[in-house]
Amino acid sequence: MRTITHSGEHELHVRRSRFVCALARVATEAEAQEFIAGRRRTHHDATHNCTAYVVGEHGDLTRSNDDGEPAGTAGRPMLEVLTRRGLTGTVAVVTRYFGGVKLGAGGLVRAYGQVVSETIDRVGMVERRAVVTMTMVADHARAGRLSRDLHASPYTPAGSRYGARAELDVLVPEDELTAFEAWLASAAGGRVETRRGPVGYVDVPIA
């Protein structure tokens, strides 16, 4: 699942018209609509506030709006940029301040698509990977060695607790659980108990 790294804004000038694109990460359609409403309040004096968003774990829900621009010249090219980049959980609002020169349908499609694409390039994208929190339980001496081995491994430490026995948490990509179990068997000789925790997500930057 891909999304943008963080919210951001970027402006493009085309033949005296200003195109101001704002992007945000959202988890639901309600959050997307709330962001859109906020941008429209901020830019209530603009000529147009065109929108597009993709939400859902697999990008199941898509919406776009031309906000008075000729049909298919604003919201649709904005949405096409989001879907072509494989993004979800992302909303885009492009605010246009008309500069007095008509751009034509082709010019509008290019401008709206370009400003969204450039804004994505500026904020960056991440891959949201499903990870499982695995807890390793061992005696203190073994846990010390295991902690050193863990820091040299491809897995991410996520906390530790020390009582009668030591508990070490590690984040393991959901599709690498079998490989993790094999690594742990080799590192600990089968003398460590494991407990599976909840599934969460981590962001991995996309070059």
**Predicted model pTM:** 0.78
List the structure tokens of 157: 């430490």
Residues 6+ apart with CB under 8 A from 54: 61, 62, 79, 82, 83, 87, 88, 89, 90
Instruction: Using DSSP, state whether 107 is helix, strand or coil.
Output: helix
With beta carbons less than 8 A apart as the criterion, state whether 4 and 22 touch: no
- Domain 2-123, what architecture? 2-Layer Sandwich (3.30)
pLDDT at 71: 96
Distance CA 169, CA 159 (A): 5
Using CA atoms of 73, 57, 28, 199 in order, give the dihedral in degrees to the nearest 10.
-160
For residue 195, how many other CB atoms are within 10 A of its CB? 11
pLDDT at 169: 92
Distance CA 116, CA 173 (A): 31
For 145-179, what is each residue's pLDDT tens digit?
A: 888 888 888 888 888 999 999 999 999 988 889 99
> Region 185-205: what's the mean pLDDT?
84
For 105-159, what is each residue's pLDDT tens digit?
A: 999 999 999 999 999 999 999 988 888 999 999 888 888 888 888 888 888 888 8
Handedness of CA 62, 65, 69, 72 (dihedral sign): positive
- Domain 129-206, what architecture? 2-Layer Sandwich (3.30)
| Dihedral-angle region of residue 158 (phi above 0 means left; psi in -120 to 50 means alpha; beta otherwise) | alpha
pLDDT of 203 > 70? The answer is: yes
pLDDT of 207 > 70? The answer is: no
% of the chain beyond a pLDDT of 70? 100
For 42-56, what is each residue's pLDDT tens digit?
A: 999 999 999 999 999
Listed by start position, the domains of the chain span: 2-123, 129-206
From 58, 63, 50, 55, select the one nearest 20 (Cα to Cα).
50
For 69-103, what is each residue's pLDDT tens digit?
A: 999 999 999 999 999 999 999 999 999 999 989 99
